[in-house]
Amino acid sequence: MSAATASTLLFVPGDRPDRFDKAAAAGADLVVLDLEDAVSADAKDAARANVAAWAAHRPCAVRINSADTRWFRADLDALSAKDVTIMIPKAEDPAVLAGIGGNVIALIETARGVLNAPAIASVPGVVRLAVGTFDLAAELGVDPTDTEALLPTRGALVLASAAAGLPGPIDGVTAAIDEPDRIIADTTYARRLGFAGKLCIHPRQLRPAAAALRPTEAQIGWARRIVEASSGAVAQVDGEMVDKPVVDRAHAILARI
């Protein structure tokens, strides 16, 4: 599945090649091989070689090191001939993203990145925005689990994505691995705001995240009634007026089944 349509994205450390195939078989829409936070400085080169070798034969995304590190250019060079999506951490400069080419997920995790989100989303090659809540919360001095504190950020990314014609953004990770109710709650909240994906750090998070991103039976039933009743003119369904924006929303819901 492409980065533009993926709902669940699963990180796997780039220095653990023994986990790459297992991650691919876990059921995520897209595997993200990680060269950044999950890999220590002394393991960066070996991890890059592992990732480049595996990515040459399997579709995936790769989170490379940020543009302000000494590994950034080497990461890009190693993946330049590979058919992979590049995830750029701490994305904040549209000019840097414009020079990458190919498919890019811009991981927004700084205040500057949030403020530049509209320009970042409009860069050719950027196919999705994602939010890195832990790094951003640290910069802002707030709790990453405080939904109210990060509501302006999430709203900004939803608006920037829509304005640029991108799919809904991808929500950040939930630290709790063995708390499916927490995953469902976090993902449901993000979905209500307009997010359309979830970053996961363990295979056990995939199923509850995917379930939370799917429409409910009530939403599906409503959408089907709307589509069936629509004929290009204004109609009524369940006592409410139905016009083109309502029909468009119904089609969007059914597209997520």
Same domain for 244 and 150 = no
Residue 3 lies in a domain: no
The enclosing domain of 27 has a CATH number of 3.20.20.60
Q: Does 205 share its domain with 242?
A: no
Residue 2 inside a domain? The answer is no
Does residue 236 sit in helix, strand or coil? strand
Q: Are residues 154 and 251 in the same domain?
A: no
Amino acid at 196: A
Name the phi and psi angles at 35, rounded to 5.
-105, 0
Residue 170 and residue 66 in one domain: yes
Residues 159, 187: contact at Cβ < 8 Å? Answer: no
Of 45, 125, 36, 109, the residue nearest 77 (C-alpha):
45
d(CA 135, CA 109): 6
* Same-domain check for residues 118 and 56: yes
Which residue range is the domain that position 230 belongs to? Answer: 219-255
Does residue 173 share a domain with residue 60?
yes
Q: Are strands 240-242 and 235-237 parallel, antiparallel or unpaired?
A: antiparallel
246 shares a domain with 171: no
Instruction: List per-residue pLDDT tens for the chain, 257 residues long.
Output: 799 999 999 999 999 999 999 999 999 999 999 999 999 999 999 999 999 999 999 999 999 999 999 999 999 999 988 889 999 999 999 999 998 988 999 999 999 999 999 999 999 999 999 999 999 999 999 999 999 999 999 999 999 999 999 999 999 999 999 999 999 999 999 999 999 999 999 999 999 999 999 888 888 887 888 888 876 566 777 767 777 888 888 888 888 77
Task: Answer yes or no: do 110 and 197 share one domain.
Answer: yes
How far apart CA 189 and CA 157 sit, in angstroms, is 15
Based on the fold, state whether residues 195 and 245 are members of the same structural domain.
no
Same domain? 91 vs 205: yes
Position 99 in a domain: yes
Residue 109 annotated as binding site: yes
Q: Are residues 184 and 230 in the same domain?
A: no
Same domain, 201 and 229: no
Tell the burial category of 145 from Cβ atoms under 10 Å away from its Cβ (0-12, 13-18, 19+): middle
Question: Using CA atoms, how far apart are residues 60 and 47, in angstroms rounded to an integer?
Answer: 15
Its pTM stands at 0.91
214 is in an annotated binding site: no
